[in-house]
Amino acid sequence: MKSIVLAEKPSVARELARVLGCTQKHKSYLEGTQYIVTWALGHLVELKMPEHYDTRYKTWNLEDLPIIPEKMGLKVIKQTSHQFKAIEGLAKRNDVNEFIIATDAGREGELVARWILEKIHWRKPIKRLWISSQTDQAIREGFKNLKPGKQYEALYESAVCRAEADWLIGLNVTRALTTKYKDPLSAGRVQTPTLSMIFEREKEIQKFVPKDYWTITANVGPLSADWEHNGEKRIFTIEKAEKVKSNLSGRKAVLQTINRKTKEEQQPLPYDLTELQRDANKRFGFSAKKTSNVLQGLYEQHKLVTYPRTDSRYLTKDMEATMADRLQGMISGYKDEVRPVLKGNVLAKRVFNNEKVTDHHAIIPTEEQLHLGDLSTDERKLYDLIARRFLTMFYPAFKSETLHAVFEVNGETISARETLVLDAGFKKVAGKEPEENSKKLNLGTLTKNQSFSLSEPELHKKLTEPPLRFSEADLLTKMERFGLGTPATRADLIERLVETEAVERQNGRFFPTAKGKQLIDLVNDELASPELTAKWEKELEQIARGKGDPKVFSENIRKQTAQLVSEVKKSEKSYRAPNLTGSKCPECSSLLKERKTKEGRILVCSSMECSFRKHKDPKLSQRRCPQCKKRMEIHNGKAGAYFQCRRCNVVEKAEEKKKGVTKREERKLKEKYSPEESSFGNSLGDLLKAALEDKK
């Protein structure tokens, strides 16, 4: 008897099949003596849409809302139904008695597999492959230690609750807003509170009124010192600033106190996905989505890092024995950093904590041999972040000493600070080694009541600054703090806000659009509140751990959905599409709206019933202008397609594709009617003539 192994993607299936010895290749699966390895293509099964419950829901009407099915149904996704049918066929084979779920080891991966199993009515045993890396060794170990499927049923229930909640709230509120205000307005359980945070920051910025302030600096002997009072260095009136400056001028500075503080900074914990996305954004300007995509390649294709979509920054205790192999695997790219610690013991023992590891441990390198030449530039950058964070575990703590000297000058206080690095420790390998203090002023040699001459104090005028708009790193931090989404979903949620034109990404920071500002005003305050979504996410986590009740959660979501839709229906708030133009639709005379897309700006009809759309910016073709050699625009006129260069005013008609003999057909003709066998020459015309004569 054989086991069906279901991977999430064809690429992963091929790797599993290779390790398991499945060499018989078929269109939809790979087979061996013990296993049949097949794959999903992401989701093959999804929740039914409203029109599958009742055809009247194909048309969006406010009166039909809320749509709350008594029992949520599943349907096969049409575009990938061929692969579903293949899996269904394999499941009916008489020589199959077991199903091994080998999709991504997380909530979404569990959902991908379980919905397929539910739709094919699988009743035989289920086992689960739960691994954190895609190396051959990890795969072999995983198949030796397959888990019973029942162990992950709570995770599946949590995934179903999450999917149904997003469907009920997102679909109903989006339909309600869109139909009431006659403009595509997208709302959701997580995206709306995320938009709300961006909007709240914008309000803080708009309310902000800059103020002038002054700081005062002076030299005390060889030291640079700042005026301060109770820790505050800013002075908010010019009168006071001038008075302080006058008090300091021409005076002696007397040392009152000198404090020496030694600081020890522990090695940082390895990365979870959110922390890695934050650092990649700060260091390289990567979006969260880009980091996720590059990381998936390092995990799946190159097998150099462990499972990406984790929310843990700890490792299990049994992993301590694997550290030497992991270091050995990366030595080709990090000889100077790895060699000193290969014989030593792991210093950061606190990272090994079974109780703090959730479904997956932190992201660290695997034992796979590193070949930097195989990686793209972005992959190298991201791998380097992960590798260096991992290496810090094997280096001692960073130690520094800060000396703080406080001087009294004619009733005023000035102070000087100096920080000396005692031991660079883990910062030697962290990517940015701390700079040694170039001026070793040695404040420690100073003594109390020692007197120094003071240089002429300098006034520096400055302006208070508003808080910055959120960068991707800032937004991820806020989302994590409020429990908005999961490490696996946050990147897509951010992209969704950009795609629906609720926010704009400018120079790496998020600006709410006019549409986004109106949308926040239209939705229920509770839905826009991060606290409500955080509460839901906590409940979903409890369900995943077998400590929550999925039925209670679903009932509450249904009640919340009905309430949210009711509020939209009763609302008297108004909305105006911010991208309306003065131009009218040529088909229905409604005003046209201008939208930005990846293909450029387009004009679309504002009427929900009209499908008119056209490009505002003409598309550029691959054809070059014969005069200036620039790419020509392509247009569709009454006589068909044509090319135009506006610079040179050159217009060329697009020729129809010439029908002729393909290269393959030409080769076959040459084979059949070669010069040796015919009195004709070997030109294509001669060969065609021979073919025609042959037909006669």
Distance CA 279, CA 301 (A): 23
From 35, 307, 383, 395, active-site residue: 307
Distance CA 616, CA 12 (A): 42
State the Cα angle at 450 between 445 and 456, rounded to 5°: 105
Four-residue CA torsion sign, 426, 428, 434, 435? positive
Q: Answer yes or no: are the C-beta atoms of 76 and 42 closer than 8 Å.
A: no
Strand 503-506 to 223-227 pairing: unpaired
Q: Is 307 a catalytic residue?
A: yes
Token couple for 413 = 């206080």
| Buried b / exposed e along 120-153 (16+ C-beta atoms within 10 A) | bebeeebbbbbbbbbbeebbeebbeebbebeebe
State the Cα angle at 399 between 276 and 436, rounded to 5°: 90
Distance CA 324, CA 326 (A): 5
**C-beta neighbour count of 100 within 10 angstroms:** 24
In three-state secondary structure terms, 3 is strand
Q: Answer yes or no: are the C-beta atoms of 653 and 640 closer than 8 Å.
A: yes
Q: Answer yes or no: are the C-beta atoms of 220 and 414 closer than 8 Å.
A: yes
Terminal Cα-to-Cα distance of the chain (whole angstroms)? 60
Strand 613-615 to 600-605 pairing: antiparallel
What is the gyration radius of the CA atoms in the chain, in angstroms?
33
Distance CA 500, CA 151 (A): 39
Distance CA 13, CA 282 (A): 35
User: Which residue carries 């888990």 as its tokens?
Assistant: 147
**Sheet containing 212-220: which strands, arranged edge to edge?**
451-453, 252-265, 398-409, 412-423, 223-227, 212-220, 458-463
Distance CA 157, CA 176 (A): 28
Token couple for 641 = 């397609």
Token couple for 285 = 């300007």
Token couple for 605 = 């009809």
Say what angle helices 288-300 and 273-284 make with each other, to 10 degrees: 120
Q: What is the DSSP letter of 152?
A: G
Token couple for 529 = 């509140």
DSSP 409-427: ETTEEEEEEEEEEEE-GGG
Residue 74 half-sphere exposure toward CB, CA atoms < 13 A:
17
Token couple for 439 = 């001026």
In three-state secondary structure terms, 92 is coil
Distance CA 285, CA 278 (A): 9
Residue 490 half-sphere exposure toward CB, CA atoms < 13 A:
31
In three-state secondary structure terms, 262 is strand
In three-state secondary structure terms, 468 is coil
Q: Which residues have C-beta within 8 Å of that of residue 153, sequence separation ≥ 6?
A: none
Distance CA 148, CA 116 (A): 18
User: Would you state the torsion angle of the CA atoms of residues 63, 66, 72, 74, taken in this order, to the nearest 10 degrees?
Assistant: 50
Give the catalytic positions in this structure.
307
